[in-house]
Every structure is written in structure tokens, then in C-alpha cells.
């Protein structure tokens, strides 16, 4: 970071932050002195270590496993098959970390990146360089993932279900070898408090699973307890109050609380538990808006933070000291999370992702969070979190036992709300049958600055993005995020508007990139309005990205018909505007039907069409190349696949209205707002698949000049008029007020049919 940016950040620091950072520096100096002295590890009592671990992870009790097999044989068989298959992969050398194969059978070099084979120095942790200014491929996340040891939990579960000693023996060897090769304060695995916390959770679950194993050697548990003491001491002095007060701080506090709950034989455990509880109680609810979604504006990190807090809440209940304030916040967070579920049972890749799960339960599909949601359903006795087609999840069983599976099966099946408006986080989500819509008109993230002060955030510059599924098939996707260390142009692409379904205006942006994960000059949060009913979805997002530059995106969604997106643009001077649409590979065929002011692309039962208000449209259909990220889709860390991107370009002098349709069943639509009108019609494929013109009854009447938007829709037999806006109010007996999720005034009117012709236009 440049000196200027360091100064900018220093100016923004509160006196409390300055004091904390000075204190951290002084404590780090004391740690360096201890490291140089290399004191011998103090013996630590390991009495009841195994029994106490089982109390925190009660599903590992032999009687619970037996009951699961007896009463819920299908759930038991699924879990046993998964555990056995995973443990077998690990011992066969075919295990993958972040998609990269890792051989864990022989000696493991804990300080070596398993992907690049770069070796980090075994020196005082604060002196370990985590990156390289010249090597854009050096990613510390891979060696950190190795040090988290979540795969050791999988080995322990393999023994628990099969009784095969080789699984338990290798789990023991890997834990103890890590302890021997990573003394406290030495090397890359002590450079992040979050990594320290996650490793402690892995060891907790591993020892709980191996509590009945008879292969422990004398002194093994004492060595584990001594290292855990080092882990807890490190955590209590390295909590990320200011450096990363979001998922990092919550994960660290949860780890500290769990160690304190587990190691009650230690004289320091009460202090660890008290501090962890205090941080969770104070900072846990701050991770979510009042509507329940996380302030980091990223779906993956929402569930990551939620997982840590769930671990802490479950442990607190076993101690009969419930985290009341935290419980209320995460119940809302589960409710918000379920709203993002798509018709295909997966969640969208909104914001950054690192393919991490806080609870050490392996899932083949990272973006399926049904299992965690079933945990929330039982934890809070909430049928609205019960996904009809989802069976009881592993997280629920391990943390709550067989009684939770029984309780889950007895929860009534209730249909989750089809339409949800999360006003604080800025999302409108609607679903009906196989059609599904997500509209993002929220902030980029919490704690960001409108000036040149850089701040790290996991949110993307995806303001006004639309995600859309039709008939159960995803059509408009979020391109995701492939890595946190890579070519700068790739990082800017995946975090910027060009990898999202939004628009980009020349020299006007929602934020400016300032490094790998940093943003500066963040625009004011957009304004979201919505009225989402079962039959029609109306929404608007309004954003100001620069002085004199306003973007207003209006949506009309008709389940079974498609989605229309009307973008109103005001600019202080002529500017070039680009629209981006991210789609699955092969969605659209090459070749388009186009006029100067409209263009049409077709696929199998899919249409993407755009019309402009007297402006020339330029069209590009782009597929990935070897050296370009354009069109790529990255839904897992470290990997990506080919997709398809469509780009429309228009030069706007002052004001413009541009309308895009995506869906399978286009019908004629006329859009009017602020004195501008665009008429949209797609002729049937049998008529040549051309852009047609519609002659509307009363089409020559004066357009409204206020902020209302009017959509005229012809279904062939009738003409429906939808009006939305602050001044929209029924004034005629034929007008019907629309009531749905959101409080945006809107009404509908049914009129006579319109006349359609197929002339070009």
C-alpha cells in the first residue's frame, strides 16, 4: 500500500483503533522475544479432553450413532457412505483442496503450498511474507487450507462409521505432526487468527469422533491440549477488531469460545469463554442488516459467518448459557438466507467466495446450503427454514444429535415466501414455479468510504444486477470469483460490472478498485422500490454514480412470460454506456437480427432482445479465450468454466431509455417514463424471428413526464397496463391496486387487445 493510502486510512482511524493497533504492536514485540527464547511447551492437563469434546459435538456418541442407524437408517446410510468415500479418497492420495489434488499419505510439508510448491519460511510469523509483488500466482490460501485440517475430521468420521483403524491412525498422525512442525509463533500457519480458530474447531470435532478409539498413545492428548492452549492464547490477543471485523472476527471469537467450553480443565478456560462470548454478543448481530442478510454483501460469506455463529450457539446451549442476542440475529439471518435459494436448489454466487465452510462437514456442491438451513430449522423450531425436498443435514445431526433429526422430520412442510424484499441489504427476490428473480439495489458493502481511503470488502461492483431463471433454467448468472491472488485485470473483471448483469457508464462507477480486494470512491447506496406479487414483479433501483449521472433500472417480471429490464439514464455530458449479460455457455446461437435501434438473439426456447430510444445499438456476443476472463463462470475457488457474455453498447448524449427482454415467451410490451416511450415486440420464429412493431390503442397520447413507469403488455387477447411509482394510485374503477412484497405503489388495468404488425422497426 502506498504511503498516501496509508495516510488516508490513518486519518479515518478512531482513537480506539489507534490504541488497539499500538497495543497489538507491543504484544507482537513480546511474542517475538518469546519466540527467540524458544521456551519448552508447558505440560497441560488433558483430563476429560475427549469426553468434553463429545459434549460439544453430541452426535459422535456411540449411542447416538446406534440410534441413528436404528431409527433413521436412510440418513445413517447416506452419512456413512459419504464419510467412507471421503476418508478413502484421503488415504488413496486423491483428496482435493480447493480443486487441487493433495497427497496426504506420507510426510506432509506443512509450510509448502501444495499447488505451486512454494515454501514459506519457518520464521517468526510476523516476518512471513504472504504474497509476492512479482508473482501473481502465489496464493497463501492453499497452504492455509492445508493447515485448517478439516480433512482430519473426515478421517475421524471414517473410523466412526466403519471402525477401520487406518482412518483413526492417520487422523492422529496428521494432528500430532502438525503440532511438532508448527510451534507457536513459527511460520505461515500462525499469520492469521482465523486460521488458528478453524484448526481448533477441526481438532475439537476430530477428538470428539475419536473419543472411543483405543489407539491414543500416552502423552498424545496432553500434546494436543498444550497446542490448544497456544491457539487460545494467540486468539485472545489477536482478535481482528479493526483489521477484519466481519467473518474473521466472528470466526476467531467462536473458536476461542469453543476452546474455552471444551478445555474446562484449564485454569484459563473461563477467561477464554468469557471473552469469546463477549465478542460474539457485541459483534455478532452487527454482521447482519436488520433484514437478516450479511453486511459483507456476499452469499458465501453470509453462510460462512452464519456457520461460526451456529457453532457457538449450539455449544452455548449445551452449557445452558444461551447467547440470546446472537440467537435472535442468526434466526433472521437464516430467514434471509433461505430467500436466495434458486429453483435448482442452489444459491447464487453473489460477491466474493473462497469455498470455505465454517462447520467441518464436507459437501460436494459448495452452493447447496440446504443442509445448513435444516440446522436452522431445528435450532429455532422454524418450519419456514424446512426445505421440502431436503433431508436432515449432517450439521444438525452432529451438533444436536438424533433428537434433532426426529424433530426435523416432524416439522410441518410450509412453503417459503415466494417474494421477499430485503430493504436494508437492498435485494428483491421473487419466485413462481420455475421462474426466479434476484435484483440487487443494495450497497457495495459495510465500512467503505466515498473518498480515496481504501477498504477491503467482499462485495462486488454489481449494483443494479439482475439474476434470472426461467422454467427452472438459469439464464442470467453471476460470474462468481475465481481467486484472491491472480492477474490484476482478472481481479478487476470478476469484481467489476463487466462480470455481472448490469451496466457500465464511461467515467462513472459505483466504486473504484484499489487493489485486490479494496475499494475507494464508493457511491451512495442505491434506492430500492419493489412490488412483488404472485402474478407480476415490479421493481426499481435508482443509483447516482457521479455528479449528474443517474441510472434507474426498472423491472417487469411476468412468471411464464419473461423479464423486461428498462434502464433510464441521465448524464451531464455525452458518455459511452455498455450493458453486460452473463449466461451459461451455449445459451444463445451466433447471429442476430438487428436494426439500428434494436437487436435480437435466439437460443433454444430463449430470446434476448434489446430496444433503444432512437439510439444506435452495437452488439457483441463473447466467449472466453485462453487469455481473457470474459465469459468465464467461476463458482468455486481456483476453478472456472466457459460461459457466454453478451455486451450491448450505446452512446448517450443526455437522456436515454433502453429496454432488454430475456425469457422464453416474449409478448409485445410498451414502456413509458418521463416522456420517453420504447415499444418492444419480438416476432415469432416462424415469422423470421425479427423485431416487429406494435400499433397500440392510444399510442399517440402524451407520455407521463414524472417518475412513474407504465408497462403495456399484450397477451394477444387482452392488454394489461401496469403502473408503478410514488405517484401511482388507482383513479379509475377498472384499476386494481397491486399488493405484494415491498411497499412500492402500483396498479394494473385490463384493456382491449392491441394490434400487432411485423414491420421492421
pLDDT digits (tens, 9 = 90+) for 90-126: 999 988 999 899 999 999 999 999 999 999 999 999 9
Angle at 429 between CA 392 and CA 460, to 5 degrees: 95
* 380 shares its domain with 517: no
pLDDT at 758 over 50: no
Beta strands in 547-627 (DSSP E): 549-558, 562-570, 575-584, 593-595, 598-603, 606-612, 618-622
Quick one: pLDDT at residue 625?
Answer: 87
* pLDDT tens per residue, range 510-539: 999 998 899 999 999 999 999 999 999 999
CA atoms within 13 A on the CB side of 145: 21
Angle at 352 between CA 348 and CA 357, to 5 degrees: 80
Burial track 294-325 (b if 16+ CB lie within 10 A, e otherwise): bbbbbbbbbbbbbbbbbbbbbbbeeeeeebee
d(CA 435, CA 527): 25
Q: Predicted confidence band at 46 (pLDDT cuts at 50, 70, 90)?
A: confident
Q: Predicted confidence band at 699 (pLDDT cuts at 50, 70, 90)?
A: very low
Cell numbers found for residue 366: 459448495
pLDDT at 479 over 50: yes
**What average pLDDT does this structure show over 149-156?**
98
Tell whether 748 is covered by a domain.
no
d(CA 273, CA 253): 9
336-345, 593-602, 645-654: least confidently modelled range? 593-602
* 174 shares its domain with 216: yes
Quick one: pLDDT at residue 593?
Answer: 80
Classify 659 as helix, strand or coil: strand
CATH of the domain at 473: 2.70.98.70
Measured in whole angstroms, the distance separating CA 238 from the mean position of its chain's CA atoms is 26
Residue 681 and residue 694 in contact, taking contact as beta carbons nearer than 8 Å? yes
Residue 642 and residue 615 in contact, taking contact as beta carbons nearer than 8 Å? no
pLDDT at 47 over 90: no
DSSP 268: T
Cell numbers found for residue 407: 424433530
Quick one: pLDDT at residue 108?
Answer: 96
Q: Which residue, of 377, 410, 443, is where some domain finishes?
A: 410
* pLDDT tens per residue, range 314-369: 999 998 999 988 999 999 999 999 999 999 999 999 999 999 999 999 998 999 99
Tell whether 755 is covered by a domain.
no
**What average pLDDT does this structure show over 654-678?**
93
pLDDT at 208 over 50: yes
Higher model confidence: residue 614 or residue 307?
A: 307
Higher model confidence: residue 99 or residue 76?
A: 76
pLDDT at 672 over 80: yes
Q: Predicted confidence band at 733 (pLDDT cuts at 50, 70, 90)?
A: confident
d(CA 301, CA 356): 9
* 124 shares its domain with 259: yes
Q: Spell out the alpha helix ranges (H) of 352-393.
A: 370-379
Q: Which domain holds residue 648?
A: 419-666
**What average pLDDT does this structure show over 253-273?**
95
Q: Which residue, of 410, 435, 458, is where some domain finishes?
A: 410
Crossing angle of helices 370-379 and 299-318, in 10° steps, is 40
In degrees and rounded to multiples of 5, residue 226 shows phi and psi of -65, -45
pLDDT at 5 over 70: no
**What average pLDDT does this structure show over 380-397?**
90
Cell numbers found for residue 665: 415467451
Higher model confidence: residue 751 or residue 45?
A: 751
Tell whether 439 is covered by a domain.
yes
Please state, in angstroms and as integers, the Cα–Cα distance from residue 432 to each residue in 423, 533, 601, 689, 740, following that order: 21, 9, 25, 28, 13
Residue 561 and residue 663 in contact, taking contact as beta carbons nearer than 8 Å? yes
Strand partners, 625: 628
* 429 shares its domain with 490: yes
pLDDT at 755 over 50: no
* 329 shares its domain with 463: no
Q: Predicted confidence band at 698 (pLDDT cuts at 50, 70, 90)?
A: very low
Quick one: pLDDT at residue 601?
Answer: 94
* 112 shares its domain with 8: no
Quick one: pLDDT at residue 1?
Answer: 54
Quick one: pLDDT at residue 27?
Answer: 84
pLDDT, the chain, mean: 91
CA atoms within 13 A on the CB side of 620: 13
Tell whether 741 is covered by a domain.
no
Residue 141 and residue 354 in contact, taking contact as beta carbons nearer than 8 Å? yes
Quick one: pLDDT at residue 413?
Answer: 83
* 67 shares its domain with 124: yes
pLDDT at 633 over 90: yes
pLDDT at 697 over 60: no
**What average pLDDT does this structure show over 230-258?**
96
Tell whether 143 is covered by a domain.
yes
* 440 shares its domain with 571: yes
pLDDT at 425 over 70: yes
CATH of the domain at 181: 1.50.10.100
Residue 714 and residue 754 in contact, taking contact as beta carbons nearer than 8 Å? yes
Tell whether 134 is covered by a domain.
yes
* 240 shares its domain with 274: yes
* pLDDT tens per residue, range 538-548: 999 999 999 99
Tell whether 314 is covered by a domain.
yes
* 388 shares its domain with 501: no
* 434 shares its domain with 337: no
Tell whether 281 is covered by a domain.
yes
d(CA 227, CA 181): 12
Q: Which of 135, 156, 241 is nearest to 204 (CA)?
A: 156
Q: How many domains does the chain have?
A: 3
- Percent of the chain having pLDDT more than 90? 77
Q: Which of 482, 665, 451, 399 is nearest to 557 (CA)?
A: 665
Q: Which of 556, 551, 606 is nearest to 575 (CA)?
A: 551
* 491 shares its domain with 514: yes
Quick one: pLDDT at residue 690?
Answer: 54
Q: Which residue, of 376, 410, 444, is where some domain finishes?
A: 410
Amino acid at each position: 500500500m502506498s504511503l498516501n493510502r496509508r495516510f488516508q486510512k490513518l486519518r479515518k482511524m478512531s482513537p480506539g483503533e489507534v490504541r488497539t493497533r499500538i497495543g497489538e504492536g507491543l504484544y507482537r514485540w513480546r511474542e517475538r522475544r518469546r519466540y527467540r527464547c524458544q521456551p519448552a511447551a508447558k505440560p497441560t492437563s488433558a483430563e476429560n479432553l475427549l469426553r468434553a469434546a463429545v459434549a460439544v459435538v453430541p452426535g459422535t456418541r456411540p449411542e447416538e450413532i446406534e440410534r441413528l442407524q436404528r431409527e433413521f437408517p436412510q440418513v445413517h446410510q447416506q452419512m456413512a457412505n459419504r464419510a467412507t468415500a471421503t476418508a478413502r479418497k484421503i488415504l488413496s492420495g486423491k483428496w482435493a483442496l480447493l480443486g487441487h489434488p493433495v497427497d496426504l499419505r506420507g510426510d506432509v510439508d506443512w509450510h509448502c503450498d501444495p499447488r505451486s510448491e512454494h515454501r514459506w519460511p519457518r520464521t517468526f510469523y510476523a516476518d512471513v511474507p504472504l504474497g509476492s509483488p512479482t508473482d501473481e500466482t502465489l496464493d497463501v490460501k492453499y497452504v492455509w487450507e492445508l493447515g485448517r485440517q478439516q480433512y482430519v475430521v473426515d478421517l475421524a468420521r471414517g473410523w466412526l462409521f466403519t471402525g477401520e483403524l487406518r482412518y483413526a491412525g492417520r487422523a492422529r498422525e496428521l494432528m500430532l505432526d502438525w503440532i511438532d512442525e508448527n510451534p507457536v509463533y513459527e511460520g505461515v500457519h500462525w499469520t492469521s487468527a482465523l486460521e488458528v480458530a478453524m484448526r481448533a474447531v477441526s481438532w475439537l470435532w476430530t477428538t470428539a469422533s475419536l473419543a472411543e478409539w483405543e489407539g491414543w498413545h500416552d502423552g498424545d492428548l496432553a500434546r494436543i491440549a498444550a497446542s490448544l492452549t497456544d491457539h487460545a492464547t494467540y486468539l485472545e490477543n489477536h482478535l481482528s477488531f479493526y483489521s477484519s471485523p466481519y467473518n474473521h472476527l466472528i470466526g476467531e471469537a467462536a473458536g476461542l469460545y469453543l476452546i474455552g467450553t471444551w478445555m474446562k480443565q484449564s485454569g484459563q478456560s473461563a477467561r477464554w469463554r468469557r471473552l469469546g462470548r463477549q465478542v460474539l454478543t457485541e459483534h455478532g448481530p452487527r454482521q447482519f442488516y436488520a433484514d437478516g442478510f450479511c453486511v459483507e454483501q456476499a452469499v458465501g460469506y453470509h453462510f460462512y459467518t452464519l456457520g461460526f455463529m451456529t457453532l457457538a450457539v449450539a455449544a452455548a446451549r449445551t452449557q445452558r448459557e444461551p447467547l440470546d442476542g446472537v440467537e435472535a440475529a442468526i434466526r433472521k439471518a437464516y430467514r434471509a438466507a433461505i430467500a436466495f435459494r434458486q429453483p435448482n436448489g442452489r444459491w447464487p454466487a453473489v460477491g466474493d467466495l473462497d469455498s470455505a465452510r465454517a462447520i467441518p462437514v464436507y459437501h460436494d456442491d459448495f452452493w447447496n446450503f440446504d443442509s445448513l438451513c435444516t440446522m436452522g430449522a431445528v435450532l429455532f423450531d422454524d418450519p419456514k427454514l424446512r426445505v421440502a425436498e431436503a433431508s436432515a443435514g449432517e450439521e444438525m445431526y452432529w451438533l444436536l444429535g438424533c433428537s434433532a433429526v426426529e424433530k426435523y422430520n416432524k416439522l410441518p412442510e410450509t412453503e417459503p415466501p415466494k417474494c421477499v424484499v430485503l430493504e436494508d441489504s437492498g435485494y428483491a427476490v421473487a419466485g413462481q414455479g420455475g421462474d426466479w428473480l434476484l435484483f440487487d439495489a443494495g450497497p457495495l458493502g459495510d465500512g467503505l468510504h466515498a473518498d480515496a481511503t481504501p477498504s477491503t470488502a467482499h462485495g462486488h461492483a454489481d449494483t443494479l444486477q439482475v439474476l434470472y431463471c426461467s422454467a427452472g433454467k438459469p439464464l442470467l448468472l453471476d460470474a462468481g470469483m475465481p481467486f484472491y491472488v491472480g492477474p490484476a485485470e482478472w481481479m478487476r473483471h470478476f469484481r467489476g460490472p463487466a462480470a455481472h448483469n448490469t451496466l457500465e457508464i464511461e467515467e462513472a462507477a459505483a466504486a473504484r478498485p484499489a487493489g485486490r480486494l479494496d475499494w475507494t470512491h464508493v457511491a451512495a447506496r442505491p434506492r430500492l422500490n419493489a412490488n412483488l406479487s404472485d402474478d407480476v414483479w415490479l421493481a426499481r433501483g435508482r443509483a447516482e454514480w457521479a455528479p449528474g449521472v443517474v441510472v434507474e433500472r426498472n423491472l417487469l417480471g411476468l412468471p411464464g412470460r419473461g423479464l423486461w429490464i428498462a434502464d433510464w439514464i441521465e448524464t451531464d455530458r455525452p458518455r459511452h454506456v455498455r450493458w453486460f449479460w452473463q449466461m451459461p455457455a451455449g445459451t444463445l446461437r451466433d447471429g442476430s437480427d438487428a436494426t439500428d435501434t434494436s437487436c435480437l438473439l435466439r437460443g433454444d426456447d430463449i430470446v434476448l432482445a434489446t430496444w433503444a430510444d432512437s439510439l444506435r445499438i452495437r452488439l457483441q456476443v463473447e466467449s472466453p479465450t485462453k487469455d481473457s476472463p470474459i465469459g468465464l463462470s467461476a463458482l468455486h475457488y481456483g476453478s472456472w468454466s466457459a460461459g457466454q457474455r453478451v455486451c450491448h453498447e450505446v452512446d448517450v448524449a443526455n437522456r436515454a431509455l433502453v429496454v432488454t427482454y430475456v425469457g422464453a415467451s416474449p409478448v409485445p410490451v410498451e414502456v413509458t417514463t418521463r416522456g420517453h416511450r420504447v415499444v418492444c415486440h419480438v416476432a415469432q420464429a416462424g415469422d423470421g424471428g425479427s423485431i416487429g412493431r406494435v400499433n397500440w390503442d392510444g399510442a399517440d397520447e402524451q407520455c407521463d413526464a414524472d417518475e412513474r413507469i407504465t408497462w403495456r403488455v399484450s397477451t394477444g387477447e387482452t392488454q394489461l397496463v401496469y403502473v408503478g411509482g410514488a405517484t401511482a394510485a388507482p383513479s379509475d374503477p377498472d384499476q386494481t391496486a397491486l399488493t405484494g412484497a415491498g411497499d412500492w405503489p402500483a396498479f394494473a388495468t385490463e384493456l382491449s387487445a392491441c394490434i400487432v404488425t411485423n414491420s421492421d422497426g
